[in-house]
Chains A and B, each alone.
Chain A
Amino acid sequence: MTEPTDADLRRLLLIRHFETALLDLFAAGRLAGTTHTCLGQEPVAVALADLLDERDFEFSNHRGHGHYLARFDDPAGLLAEIMGRAGGVCAGVGGSQHLLRGRFLSTGVQGESVPVAAGTALHLARTEPGKLACAHIGDGTWGAGAVYEALNLAVLWRLPLVVAVEHNGIAQSTPTAAQLAGTIAGRAAAFGAAYLHVADDDVAAMRDLVAGPLARVRDGAGPLVVEFATRRLGPHSKGDDARPPQQLAALREHDWYPRHARLCGERFARLDAEQRDRVAEVVAEVSARPPATPPAPSPAALSPSDNPAESPWQLVNA
């Protein structure tokens, strides 16, 4: 196993401390609603972030903070969104599960994003060949029919679509064995979609495995299903974990965090403290902000647009 670069380690640790801070804020009664942390699954987000281009569409899900932070390095914007404070990514309307920035979008209904991602992939295939759409889903999402409708279309039309599956062994409270018949590999094979299994959670090794198949998607080979074996260390949402303590202990034992701490020694400790402090500062700064006030829809903003070139990422980047 190779040591992660400073940049990768920083991102892994940023996400880890961000998610931990959210659970602390919930415990302190300072967050409303719900939030789904990706504790344990950080390497998937970090590995993929460097393989994606800013012109690629990326569709995240309910457990999407890591994907966002890996792509944008914007903990303040995300925390403000989750806390309903000024400066949030979506003015407090979307919250934890509904983020839109550039070509990154998350939404909170299982499977819903895969056909949408296929639509953006169709657009990219026609107008920006070489770019792709990536939809992050979980093993539980394979219960949703929309996934299959989209995969069928994507194979038929050879769309540049990557379905990135974070198989963490549990769908909310339901173990995979109780909700998934057969295998994800078998399902991909049934559609004739390319499939890759990634058992490692060492970021560099993950990228080495994924880079080739991803490049083939960019070259027009059609969709790819990539299944990452990963671990959900935390609860589904806030503090609702019903798994036995020994099972959680076993998961934590294999977590990247202690492993990297052992491997990187002082460097880990330094970067760990750096990101812990960074998140603490962000929490303090964002907590002091005033409440978010989304702009009222103005008549001008609601008037029909006759400019077919207008699209949200352009609006956002304008």
Chain B
Amino acid sequence: MAARQRVAESLNAALATALADDPRLYLLGEDILDPYGGAFKVTRGLSTRFPRQVLGTPISEAGIVGLAGGLALAGDRAIVEIMFGDFATLAFDQVVNFAAKSVTMYGRRVPMPVVLRCPTGGNRGYGPTHSQSLQKHFVGVPSLAVYELTPYHDTTDLLRGILAAGEPAVLFEDKVLYTDWMRRDGAADDLFRYDVVGDWPGVARVRLDDAPPECIVVAPGGVADRALAAMRRLLLESEIVTELHVPARLYPVDLSPVLDGAGRAGRVLVVEDSTAGGTWGAEVAHTLHTELWGRLRRPVRLLHAADSVVPAAPHLERAVLPQDGSIAGAVEEMCHG
């Protein structure tokens, strides 16, 4: 039986598999070469194993994402590590105006397998320019898919599918999640079970075996642990049964695996680390309202980060981002409010 893996190790293995499977795949990024191995050590060992494919670059986000687009145009594939997801803004033109538009703007489909890997989110004390969750800025761009790592989805399968789709994608990777354990064998923890349902890449459902939930929590992978902690607390302290749904692909939104459970529970909370306003969560809520109109007991509730930068001091940062306490509080209000 394979040893337990942390999420960063699982991602490292997924990258190694992808590079070994496809000699035309490149991995580009700043400070990703050994012995440093990347700011979060996700690429450790890869430049040693795949020196022709793994290229360390200058501090040039627009340049290297453009370079990736050129490689893709020429029939190669490219994964770019953006050291901190905040810096993806520097490559926004290349992502939105070149990579995504090129798929269709020439009147026929142009494959553009370019993946931006974006370490994202707070709770690490890095401060306002190194902690933001930018997912919403990439939602709704034609031909651009948005994914987020989760501890429930097989990382190798996820990466393989993203590359095979032939369209540009942004893969968000929560920085706290890196050190979390990948779940396996259907066990989310000692109480909750999980399965992954629906079309690839699927939605992970984290739930109790025989208890119908009063509320469904929908969250991306980076929030999943905080949501699970809230669910334990709700169960043990308030006897509220909840179920967590974690899609690996955020956009385009596919909530078909969520609809049945959400309709039966009648209450849905969507949690995200983004600030409010034009968010992925709002997209989820809109979809649920449209699909489940008349079946929901109350409007879908959104829980976001506060309308604020992410402060550096740990106590200030905690207060700004959704935490297990605020998630549990929101569910309690929905169930008893």
If A145-B62, A150-B67 touch, whether A91 touches B108 (CB-CB below 8 Å) is yes
| Interface assignment of A263: CB less than 8 Å from any CB of chain B | no
**How many Å lie between the Cα of A297 and that of B109 in the bound state?**
8
| Interface assignment of B240: CB less than 8 Å from any CB of chain A | no
CB of A239, distance to nearest CB on chain B (Å): 26
Q: Are A153 and B70 in contact (CB under 8 A)?
A: no
Partner of A91 from the list B65, B67, B107, B164 (CB cut-off 8 Å) is B107
| Interface assignment of B97: CB less than 8 Å from any CB of chain A | yes
| Interface assignment of B282: CB less than 8 Å from any CB of chain A | no
Q: Are A149 and B58 in contact (CB under 8 A)?
A: yes
**How many Å lie between the Cα of A109 and that of B99 in the bound state?**
12
For this complex, into which size category does the number of interface residues on chain B fall?
A: 35 or more
Q: Are B94 and A112 in contact (CB under 8 A)?
A: yes
Q: Are B58 and A153 in contact (CB under 8 A)?
A: yes
Q: Are B67 and A116 in contact (CB under 8 A)?
A: yes
Chain A residues within 8 Å of chain B by Cβ, number: 53
**Chain A residue at minimum C-beta to C-beta distance from B70:** A119
| Interface assignment of B125: CB less than 8 Å from any CB of chain A | no
Q: Are B67 and A152 in contact (CB under 8 A)?
A: no
- List, in ascending order, chain B residues with CB within 8 A of A92's CB: 107
Partner of A304 from the list B52, B64, B93, B166 (CB cut-off 8 Å) is B166
**How many Å lie between the Cα of A118 and that of B98 in the bound state?**
14
CB of B252, distance to nearest CB on chain A (Å): 12
Q: Are A294 and B24 in contact (CB under 8 A)?
A: no
Q: Are B164 and A295 in contact (CB under 8 A)?
A: no
Interface pick from B72-80, B227-235, B314-322: B72-80
| Interface assignment of B329: CB less than 8 Å from any CB of chain A | no
Residues 52 to 111 of chain A near chain B (Cβ within 8 Å): 57, 88-94, 98-100, 105, 107, 109
Interface pick from A13-21, A34-42, A121-129, A214-222: A121-129
| Interface assignment of B179: CB less than 8 Å from any CB of chain A | no
- List, in ascending order, chain B residues with CB within 8 A of A304's CB: 161, 164-166
**How many Å lie between the Cα of A295 and that of B108 in the bound state?**
7
Interface pick from A163-171, A181-189, A240-248, A307-315: A307-315
**How many Å lie between the Cα of A305 and that of B165 in the bound state?**
7
CB of A275, distance to nearest CB on chain B (Å): 27
Residues 143 to 175 of chain A near chain B (Cβ within 8 Å): 145-146, 149-150, 152-153, 156
**Chain A residue at minimum C-beta to C-beta distance from B57:** A153
- List, in ascending order, chain A residues with CB within 8 A of B108's CB: 90-91, 294-295, 315-316
Residues 154 to 169 of chain B near chain A (Cβ within 8 Å): 161, 164-166
| Interface assignment of B238: CB less than 8 Å from any CB of chain A | no
**Chain B residue at minimum C-beta to C-beta distance from A124:** B74
**How many Å lie between the Cα of A305 and that of B72 in the bound state?**
13
- List, in ascending order, chain A residues with CB within 8 A of B69's CB: 115-116, 119
- List, in ascending order, chain A residues with CB within 8 A of B111's CB: 305, 310-312
CB of B191, distance to nearest CB on chain A (Å): 37
| Interface assignment of A193: CB less than 8 Å from any CB of chain B | no
| Interface assignment of B60: CB less than 8 Å from any CB of chain A | yes
CB of B169, distance to nearest CB on chain A (Å): 12
Of B70, B102, B166, most buried by chain A (CB within 10 Å of CB) is B70
| Interface assignment of A302: CB less than 8 Å from any CB of chain B | yes
Partner of B73 from the list A89, A98, A294, A312 (CB cut-off 8 Å) is A312
Q: Are A100 and B106 in contact (CB under 8 A)?
A: yes
| Interface assignment of A120: CB less than 8 Å from any CB of chain B | yes
**Chain B residue at minimum C-beta to C-beta distance from A304:** B164
Residues 51 to 105 of chain B near chain A (Cβ within 8 Å): 52, 57-58, 60, 62-78, 93-94, 97-98, 102, 104-105
Q: Mask for B269-286, Cβ within 8 A of A = 1, else 0?
A: 000000000000000000
CB of A34, distance to nearest CB on chain B (Å): 16
CB of B41, distance to nearest CB on chain A (Å): 24
Q: Are A133 and B70 in contact (CB under 8 A)?
A: yes
CB of A64, distance to nearest CB on chain B (Å): 13
Q: Are B106 and A99 in contact (CB under 8 A)?
A: yes
**How many Å lie between the Cα of A297 and that of B143 in the bound state?**
12
| Interface assignment of B110: CB less than 8 Å from any CB of chain A | yes
Q: Are A314 and B75 in contact (CB under 8 A)?
A: yes
**How many Å lie between the Cα of A100 and that of B107 in the bound state?**
9
- List, in ascending order, chain B residues with CB within 8 A of A305's CB: 111, 164, 166
Q: Are A109 and B66 in contact (CB under 8 A)?
A: no
If A152-B60, A153-B60 touch, whether A115 touches B94 (CB-CB below 8 Å) is yes
- List, in ascending order, chain B residues with CB within 8 A of A146's CB: 62-63, 66, 93-94
CB of A304, distance to nearest CB on chain B (Å): 4
CB of B261, distance to nearest CB on chain A (Å): 28
- List, in ascending order, chain A residues with CB within 8 A of B64's CB: 115, 149, 153
**How many Å lie between the Cα of A92 and that of B108 in the bound state?**
11
- List, in ascending order, chain B residues with CB within 8 A of A149's CB: 58, 60, 62-64, 66
**How many Å lie between the Cα of A304 and that of B93 in the bound state?**
25
Q: Are A118 and B70 in contact (CB under 8 A)?
A: yes
Partner of A115 from the list B63, B77, B97, B161 (CB cut-off 8 Å) is B63
CB of B99, distance to nearest CB on chain A (Å): 9
| Interface assignment of B189: CB less than 8 Å from any CB of chain A | no
| Interface assignment of B332: CB less than 8 Å from any CB of chain A | no
CB of A89, distance to nearest CB on chain B (Å): 8
10 nearest CB pairs, A to B: A119-B70, A115-B66, A149-B63, A311-B75, A91-B107, A90-B107, A123-B74, A100-B106, A304-B164, A149-B60
Can you list 16 pairs linking A and B with CB atoms under 8 Å apart?
A90-B107, A91-B107, A93-B105, A98-B105, A100-B110, A107-B98, A113-B66, A114-B66, A115-B63, A115-B66, A116-B67, A116-B94, A119-B67, A122-B70, A304-B165, A314-B75
Query: Which residues of A are interface residues toward B (Cβ below 8 A)?
Result: 57, 88-94, 98-100, 105, 107, 109, 112-124, 126, 133, 145-146, 149-150, 152-153, 156, 292, 294-295, 297, 301-302, 304-306, 308-312, 314-316
A112-B93, A115-B70, A305-B166 given; name 5 further pairs at CB < 8 Å.
A99-B106, A100-B110, A113-B66, A149-B62, A149-B64
